[in-house]
């Protein structure tokens, strides 16, 4: 069994992926309190790990035009003399980099053609979606003698909201004349394209319904590249479009103020769940994209899936049958109102 002293956890992909790997740090620290834990991530996800007391250091991967640079990152990793690394999202470049960094214990999947570069292999296929992504991540810790049963019953994400971001966000909301007494519902229309989404027209229909409610502010969020998409959701004076106007720290602050967060399968949905905000999500039945694998990891959730009865669902079949269009927006609206009443 490995007894780590200096671990590198590698998660150089997107927002939701990073969120679902954060609890690994606390679990390792509780088993090995003296172990130093470092995360290697992309710069745009940095705000997710800020202020986390279980993470000793964050390394930002050097990139050029969105591509991870091999030599620069290799030198950065070698300088830290890690004895163990856990590759949560494997790529050939990352696996080769860690091999050449001569890290003694390299933990990763046993099911890739380049898995020979890992000397501590975990044999689990994620594509079948038979458990949650977070649970797959925790299972990688088995090589450290940590079993899934040792994970805390209530998983904590320890996302921190800094005062400076909160003040800046409040200023932005004041500029938009958003009443501080209103409950905030965030609608996040965009996604990274990794799943099949609810049709835009259905989400706009829901936005119109919600905009008619009293003492509620509807805020649309999205990246700068999603601005045109989000503009289509400006269906009422009660809708505020903040797409392209929030960095990740400000988005965290906004989500933390919200009563409900509504979206397809996307990273900010996992931020909302991690912050304890009630989430409403739309998921297909495709195993690799399903709520079972990628749903928000929280009890405060309402998940809607296609009403079409299908088996062995694939992305091609889902898009051909337009399965997501079978979700009843009237039921989503009723569920949202019920949550608001409880809150």
Tell me whether strands 63-64 and 67-68 are parallel, antiparallel or unpaired.
antiparallel
235 torsion bin: left (phi>0), alpha (psi -120 to 50), beta (else): alpha
Q: How far is CA 272 from the centre of its chain?
A: 9
From the CB of residue 65, how many other CB atoms can be counted at a distance below 10 Å? 4
Question: What whole-number percentage of the chain has pLDDT above 70?
Answer: 100
Q: What is the largest CA-CA distance in the chain?
A: 61
- pLDDT of 96 reads 98
Please report how many Cα atoms fall inside a 13 Å half-sphere around the Cα of residue 228, on the Cβ side.
1
The per-residue pLDDT of the chain, averaged, comes to 94
- pLDDT of 176 reads 84
Range with the poorest average pLDDT among 27-41, 53-67, 91-105, 279-293: 279-293
Query: Would you say 131 and 293 are in contact if contact means Cβ atoms under 8 Å apart?
Result: yes
For the entire predicted model, the pTM comes to 0.95
H helix count then E strand count, the chain: 13, 14
């Amino acid at each position: 069994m490995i007894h780590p002293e200096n671990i590198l956890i590698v998660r150089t992909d997107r927002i939701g992926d990073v969120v679902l790997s954060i609890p690994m740090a606390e679990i390792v620290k509780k088993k090995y309190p003296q172990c130093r834990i470092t995360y290697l991530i992309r710069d745009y996800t940095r705000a997710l790990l800020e202020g986390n007391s279980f993470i000793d250091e964050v390394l930002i991967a050097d990139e050029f035009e969105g591509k991870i640079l091999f030599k620069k990152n290799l030198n950065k990793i070698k300088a830290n003399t890690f004895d163990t690394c856990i590759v949560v999202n494997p790529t050939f470049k990352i696996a080769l980099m860690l091999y050449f960094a001569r890290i003694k214990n390299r933990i990763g999947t046993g099911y890739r053609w380049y898995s020979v570069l890992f000397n501590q292999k975990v044999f689990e296929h994620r594509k079948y979606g038979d458990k949650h992504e977070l649970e797959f991540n925790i299972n990688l810790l088995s090589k450290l003698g940590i079993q899934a049963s040792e994970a805390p019953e209530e998983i904590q994400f320890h996302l921190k909201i800094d005062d400076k971001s909160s003040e800046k966000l409040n200023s932005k909301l004041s500029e938009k004349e958003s009443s501080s007494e209103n409950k905030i519902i965030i609608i996040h229309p965009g996604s990274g394209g990794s799943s099949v989404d609810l049709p835009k027209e259905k989400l706009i229909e829901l936005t119109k319904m919600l905009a008619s409610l009293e003492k509620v502010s509807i805020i649309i969020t999205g990246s700068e590249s999603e601005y045109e998409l989000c503009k289509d959701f400006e269906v009422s004076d009660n809708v505020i479009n903040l797409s392209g106007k929030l960095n990740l720290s400000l988005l965290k602050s906004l989500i933390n103020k919200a009563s409900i967060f509504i979206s397809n399968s996307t990273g900010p949905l996992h931020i909302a769940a991690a912050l304890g905000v009630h989430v409403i999500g739309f998921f297909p039945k495709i195993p690799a994209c399903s709520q079972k694998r990628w749903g928000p990891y929280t009890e405060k959730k309402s998940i809607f899936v296609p009403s079409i009865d299908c088996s062995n669902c694939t992305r091609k079949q889902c898009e051909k049958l337009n399965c997501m269009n079978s979700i009843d927006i009237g039921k989503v609206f009723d569920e949202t109102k019920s949550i608001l009443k409880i809150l």
